[in-house]
Amino acid sequence: MIKVYYCDNHIIVCYKEKGILSQPDGSNKEDMLSIVKEYIKEKYNKPGNVFLGLVHRLDINTSGVMVFARTSKGAERLSEAVKNHSLKKKYVATVEGILKNKEYILLKDNIYKDEKEKKSYIRKDGKEAILEFRALKNYKINGKDVTDIEINLKTGRFHQIRCQMANIGHPLYGDKKYGSKNEVDPLQFPLEAYQLSFPHPISKEIMTFNSMEVDDEA
């Protein structure tokens, strides 16, 4: 059963677990679009196909809050919110090494997505990628120094957080694709989209949803 934070005639906000796709990819893996459609169909006893608009995505190994549109007008306006950056995401991640910055540090790079490798690189011919991060707390995992960080994501490039943090020498703990030498269970990948904020597509009210409390001990 999925966790639903909010639902009305225009939108539904829910939680995506790690290991679940945002949308079907042709495999047999579970995906949020299908799960939420089935939830609406059963809860509201809707026959036939259920309309559900996917307006943003989370990687399969990233958990967190997602919003879906229940009407075409809602989908159009939420998609516009994504484009003009009024739909905002905050993440928490565990990175390797010690960071102490209590104030946000801005990272601004160009990111190129290699479709064949399914990996992103910092390259001049890439698309602009912007985020800011600050340290929350330092501790050790299996004797290795790590830092929990909070991230304000300004753009939504493929593997942006993973690529940009690795580029400054602090890959996500266990993210071997981006240079980590540590092992981690894919279902324990240390990245969560814990806060989502956006204007309601009809009322324009700013709505904010959190999946967790952020522990700031830096």
Element (H, E) at 139: strand 127-141
* Cα(16)–Cα(18) distance, integer angstroms: 7
Paired sense of beta strands 63-69 and 191-199, if any? parallel
Nearest 10 degrees: Cα torsion 115, 120, 124, 125: 20
Residue 103: HSE in the Cβ half-sphere, 13 Å Cα cutoff: 1
Contact 198, 128 (CB under 8 A): no
Contact 64, 33 (CB under 8 A): no
Which pair of tokens denotes residue 154? 């300004």
Whether the pTM exceeds 0.85: the reply is yes
Nearest to 156 by CA among 119, 127, 176: 127
Q: Which CATH class is domain 4-210?
A: alpha beta
At residue 1, the pLDDT reads 80
Return per-residue pLDDT of the chain as tens, 218 residues.
Answer: 899 999 999 999 999 999 999 999 888 899 999 999 999 999 988 888 899 999 999 999 999 999 999 999 999 999 999 999 999 999 999 999 999 999 999 999 999 999 999 999 999 999 999 999 999 999 999 999 999 999 999 998 999 999 999 999 999 999 999 999 998 988 889 999 999 999 999 999 999 999 987 676 64
